[in-house]
Amino acid sequence: MVSELPWDSKTGTLRRDLAEGMMNPACSHALEAALQIKEKHGGHITVFTMGPPMAEEVLFEAVALGADQGALLTDPKMAGADTFITSYILSRAIKKICPDFDLILCGCYTSDSETAQVGPQLAEELSIPGVAYVEHLDIQDRTVRIQRLTDNFLETLEMDLPGLITITTQQYAPRYAPLSGLQDAFERNKIIRLTAKKLGLDSEMSGLKNSPTQIVDVYSPIMDKKNIILKGTAKKIVGQIFEKFDDKIGGAIGKDLKVGKES
């Protein structure tokens, strides 16, 4: 799916100006979680997105759904930012727009690049605790109780606020935007636009140039399954297996089999 999107082969980044914009699916679940928290406990929701000017669409959609305001981080200098730079810019924007936040909710990963890094990196940038891949959360006073599925175990964790949580797509199915909400979102226009200059990032960062990671290539993994019949005695077959697949077996058990062989 990723490789079907319009990638710029020179920079290895997504041509977001050519892709049909939509709210990242996991983020729409995170927004739903935020809306449910607001309905239960009250609060004020600010939605952030970073991208070209057209990314504003998703902020209007978020406000139509019930968010109180949106912030668009847009600047040609931010273009091509990797997850490290993105989380840094986001942290600066959060400190500027809502320095007294209680909880940051992120989608657990994006459907375009699927790194799942921005959430945890953002928690680091803000020096707050963070939990990723959360399915359910419940807030009591200043503590948030979290459930997530790891290795088929349902894990329950507790975290003090302020904190950061990334939400999976298992729960918090997003609601539909009401037409009155959409109409109001555009009439009231609660979107703040932040450039690198406004965030004081001008001299510090310029997106791609400062990104420590570079995407070399993007492609769909090629599944090349075939049945191979090994013949001979058991000893011979085992020998053949290790000869042919030692790198795969080694990778699976986390041991370099060649090292043992050489010694």
Partner 1 sequence: MDFNPCMKHKVIRKAVRKFAESEIGPLVYEIDRDARFPQEIVDKMRPLNFFGLQISKRYGGAEVDSISYAITIEEISRVCAGIGLCVTVHNSVGSYPIQLFGTPEQKKRFLPPLAGGERIGAFCLTEANAGSDASSVETTAVPDGDEYVLNGTKIFVTNGGVCGCALIFAITDPEDARRSASVFIVEKGTPGFSVGEIEDLCGMRSNPVSSLFLEDCRVPAENLLGRLGDGIKIGLTALDTGRIGVAAQALGIAQAAFEASVRYSQERQQFKRPISSFQTIQNYLADMATEIDAARLLLYRACAFKDSGRPFSAESAMAKLYCSRAATRVTNQAVQIHGGYGYSKEYDVERYFRDAKVTEIYEGTSEVQRMVIARAVLSKRV
Binding-site ranges for partner 1 (CB under 8 A):
22, 54, 56-57, 60-61, 64, 176-180, 182-183, 186
Residue nearer to partner 1 on the CB measure, 60 or 109? 60
Residue nearer to partner 1 on the CB measure, 9 or 180? 180
> At closest approach, how far in Å is the CB of 64 from partner 1?
7
> At closest approach, how far in Å is the CB of 186 from partner 1?
4
Q: What is the dihedral of CA 74, 79, 83, 84, to 10 degrees?
A: -90
Inter-CA distances, 174 with 27, 83, 98, 241, Å: 9, 25, 24, 48
Residue nearer to partner 1 on the CB measure, 76 or 178? 178
Q: Which helix (H) or strand (E) holds 64?
A: helix 56-65
**Which of 234, 259, 260, 256 has the alpha carbon at shortest distance from 247?**
256
> At closest approach, how far in Å is the CB of 56 from partner 1?
7
The amino acid occupying position 176 is: Y
Q: Among all chains, which residue has been given the structure tokens 């999976």?
A: 168
CB atoms within 10 A of CB 117: 18
> At closest approach, how far in Å is the CB of 175 from partner 1?
9
Please give the Cα distance from 120 to 123 (Å, whole number): 5
Q: Among all chains, which residue has been given the structure tokens 């007294």?
A: 100
Instruction: Show Cβ contacts of residue 241 under 8 Å, excluding neighbours closer than 6 positions.
Output: 230, 249
* Terminal alpha carbon distance of the chain: 44
Structure tokens at 128: 């707050």
Residue nearer to partner 1 on the CB measure, 72 or 128? 72
Residue nearer to partner 1 on the CB measure, 178 or 232? 178
Residue nearer to partner 1 on the CB measure, 116 or 185? 185
Residue nearer to partner 1 on the CB measure, 178 or 260? 178
> At closest approach, how far in Å is the CB of 41 from partner 1?
22
**Phi and psi at residue 100, in whole multiples of 5°?**
-100, 35
Widest CA span in the chain = 78
> At closest approach, how far in Å is the CB of 79 from partner 1?
20
> At closest approach, how far in Å is the CB of 182 from partner 1?
5
**Which burial class, exposed, middle or buried, applies to 228 when counting CB atoms under 10 A from its CB (0-12, 13-18, 19+)?**
exposed
